Amino acid sequence: MNCKDITDMLKSEMVPALGCTGPTAYALAAARCRPHLTAKPTHMKVYVSPAYLKIGFGVATPGTSDPGIALAAAIGLMGGDWTLGMSVLKPCTPDIITDAMAFVERGSVEIQADWEQTGVYVRAEVTTLNETVVAVVSGKHDGIISVLVNGEELFHANMPSEAIKPNENVLTPDVIFDYVDNMDTDELRFLLDGYQMNLALAEDGIRNKLGLESGRVYLRHCFTENNVPADLYENPLHYLPDDLAQRIKILVSAASDARMGGSTYPAMAAMGDGNQGITAMLPVGLAAEHANVDDEKTIRALTLACLMTFYVKIHIGRASAFCLCAIAASAGAAAGIAYVNGLDRKGIRAAVKNVISPLAGMLCDGAKNGCALKMAIASSTALTAVELAEVGVEMGYFDGVTDDTLEQTVACITEIATKSQSLLDGAMVQSILDKEARKRSERLP
């Protein structure tokens, strides 16, 4: 894999995304149907893989604080622009959201789990008096692979492939290190903009009461009862603590609060996931500012963070039963912070092993407000992992899933994650269905 291939991969996989990946994919599939409708939609069925059912169950769609797959798909159907990809919801106005809510409240949207599908999979079927239109998103969060009108396929694309397949063994840690050392930083300057994008999202999460409001709480706890600034939430970035660990915890969780809580600010996503982009990039950018390093080193550190995230995700997949903020984006954050702090390749490898090993058992139980707490844990652990690596501490062969090398450690975690995914996703989805059944029974007279 040459430098151009890696640069192209970064440009295609690090892109802005409006809202959580789950609602975005539901909205995209539904929006792709709309150009083929010749009458008002009367009904929509949305079929999703088990992994994607749990991803969308508890997260809000941008512009509303209401969670749910049905609403996200309805908003996409009513006003989404499928040509915008992961920013499909950008044109949606309050009036469109109101119409979508009414469509859902009439019982016009039906959600079903397709137990035969895995990973990224959404199929929207929209019915009018004149036609039935079907659009399928699969393989990647913005991967539209099929559009059918009354059973006739009008569009077909091959299943989007991962940027790199694990068995090709081309994006290794050494390849990543060589690229970071020799890359043209001008070509990757957009990653600085991505860091600022995620920082703006975090600021929105503190200024407004979104999600769990955890970032607001963490910031508020930096002050005693009697010295809270009057404009703390209006100008939160002016009152951040000097301590890097606290800054990271506050801003990473606040960015998640915003994104999970319906903010209309975009995130710079990593391989289709905004929370992972936040977890990988924000700690590195903050560490670079804290260390007062120049833009060139910051860009290299952010690049390393993104590529190390890719390295883990390529093996485990874009969707997993394990939290990829914990075992992929945290790897990126640790690598990037270690680079900022001047660690060599051995030290960076140690830092990554130190963070992904203890977090490997964290489950992905869906996108939701509570992701803020997981991301705060992941990013805080990444900083601790670097601090330990700086003094020679490195988890190894006798430390559970950890092994002698970083490559062997990732391989071990990958084997566990892939072999357990179907069982874990099935159990977590069933828990969601059981909760929904309980709620329905509680509403009965």
> What residue numbers bound the domain in which 365 lies?
166-429
pLDDT of residue 164 exceeding 80, the answer is: no
What CATH number is associated with residue 80? 3.30.1330
Please give the C-alpha separations between residue 37 and each of 40, 50, 156, 334, 408, in angstroms, as whole numbers.
Answer: 7, 28, 18, 48, 51
At 235, give phi and psi (nearest 5°). Answer: -130, 60
In-domain check, residue 47: yes
Is the separation of the CB atoms in 150 and 157 below 8 Å?
no
- Which residue, among 38, 26, 30, has the nearest Cα to 128 in the 3D structure? 38
pLDDT band at 11 (very low <50, low <70, confident <90, very high): very high
Instruction: Flag whether pLDDT at 163 surpasses 60.
Output: no
Q: Specify whether the CB–CB gap between 299 and 245 falls below 8 A.
A: no
* 373: CB partners within 8 A, 6+ apart: 212, 214, 253
Mean pLDDT of all residues in 218-239: 95
For residue range 327-377, list pLDDT tens digits in order. 999 999 999 999 999 999 999 999 999 999 999 989 998 889 999 999 999
Residue 1 scores a pLDDT above 50 = yes
Average pLDDT, the chain: 92
Q: Is residue 343 located within the same domain as residue 270?
A: yes
Whether residues 145 and 171 fall in one domain: no
Helices (H), strands (E): how many in the chain? 16, 8
CATH number for the domain that contains residue 323: 1.10.4100
Give the pLDDT score at 63.
83
User: Do residues 267 and 146 both lie within one domain?
Assistant: no
Residues 264 and 408 in one domain: yes
Confirm if 4 and 178 have CB atoms less than 8 A apart: no
| pLDDT of 160 higher than 60 | no
Q: Which of 28-32, 118-122, 329-333, 337-341 has the lowest mean pLDDT?
A: 118-122
End-of-domain residue from the set 156, 185, 212: 156
Residue 371 and residue 141: Cα distance in Å, rounded? 19
Element (H, E) at 17: strand 14-17
Judged against a pLDDT cut of 90, whether residue 390 lies above it is answered with yes
Please give the single-letter amino acid code of residue 213: E
Beta-strand pair 43-48/109-113: parallel
Task: Tell me: pLDDT of 266 over 70.
Answer: yes
Lowest mean pLDDT among 88-97, 295-304, 351-360, 425-434: 425-434
Burial of 134 (0-12, 13-18, 19+ CB in 10 A): buried
Q: How buried is residue 48: exposed, middle or buried, by Cβ count under 10 Å (0-12/13-18/19+)? A: buried
| pLDDT grade for 443, boundaries at 50, 70 and 90 | low
Q: To the nearest whole percent, how much of the chain has pLDDT over 90?
A: 75
Are residue 146 and residue 203 in the same domain, yes or no? Answer: no
DSSP for 116-184 reads T--SSEEEEEEE-SS-EEEEEEESSTT-EEEEEETTEEEEE-PPPPPSS-GGG--S-HHHHHHHHHH--
Domain boundary among 124, 156, 188: 156
Residue 6 located in a structural domain: no
CA dihedral 100, 103, 107, 109 (to 10 degrees): -60
Instruction: Specify if 444 maps to a domain.
Output: no
Q: 242 and 365: one domain?
A: yes
Mean pLDDT within 290-295: 97
54 and 96 inside one domain: yes
Count of domains observed in the chain: 2
Q: Poorest-confidence range of 63-67, 71-75, 94-98, 350-354?
A: 63-67
Residues 117 and 61 in one domain: yes
Residue with tokens 């019982």: 107
Residue 10 domain-assigned (yes or no): no
Q: Does residue 407 belong to any structural domain of this protein? A: yes
Sign of the C-alpha dihedral computed for residues 430, 45, 100 and 273 taken in this order: positive
What is the mean predicted confidence (pLDDT) over 210-228?
Answer: 94
Q: E strands of 162-276, at which residues?
A: 267-270
Band (13; pLDDT cuts 50, 70, 90): very high
Higher pLDDT, 165 or 320: 320
Angle of helix 330-340 versus helix 295-316 axis, rounded to 10: 150
Same domain, 215 and 237: yes
Q: What is the mean pLDDT of residues 18-24?
A: 81
Do 367 and 318 have their domain in common?
yes
Compute CA distances 433 → 120, 208, 368, whole Å.
19, 31, 16
Q: How many residues does the chain have?
A: 445
Question: Is the domain of 182 the same as that of 237?
Answer: yes
With 90 as the cut, is the pLDDT of residue 156 above it? yes
The answer to whether residue 166 scores a pLDDT higher than 70 is no
Question: What tokens were used for 87?
Answer: 């920013």
Rg (CA), the chain: 22
Nearest to 54 by CA among 134, 108, 111: 111
DSSP state of 404: S
Range with top average pLDDT, 200-204, 365-369, 434-438:
200-204
- Has residue 167 got a pLDDT over 50? no
Instruction: Please indicate, yes or no, if residue 37 is contained in any of the structural domains.
Output: yes
Q: Is the pLDDT of residue 56 over 90?
A: no
16, containing H or E segment: strand 14-17
Residue 31: pLDDT band (50, 70, 90) is very high
pLDDT bracket for residue 162 (50, 70, 90):
very low
The answer as to whether 442 is a domain residue is no
pLDDT in tens, 408-417: 999 999 999 9
Residues 359 and 326: beta-carbon distance below 8 Å: yes
Dihedral sign computed on CA atoms, order 413, 416, 417, 418 = positive
pLDDT value for 444: 62
Shared domain check, 220 and 132: no
438 pLDDT higher than 80: yes
153 has which bridge partners? Answer: 148
Domain boundary residue, one of 106, 122, 156 = 156
Residue 96 included in any domain: yes
How much is the pLDDT for 442?
78
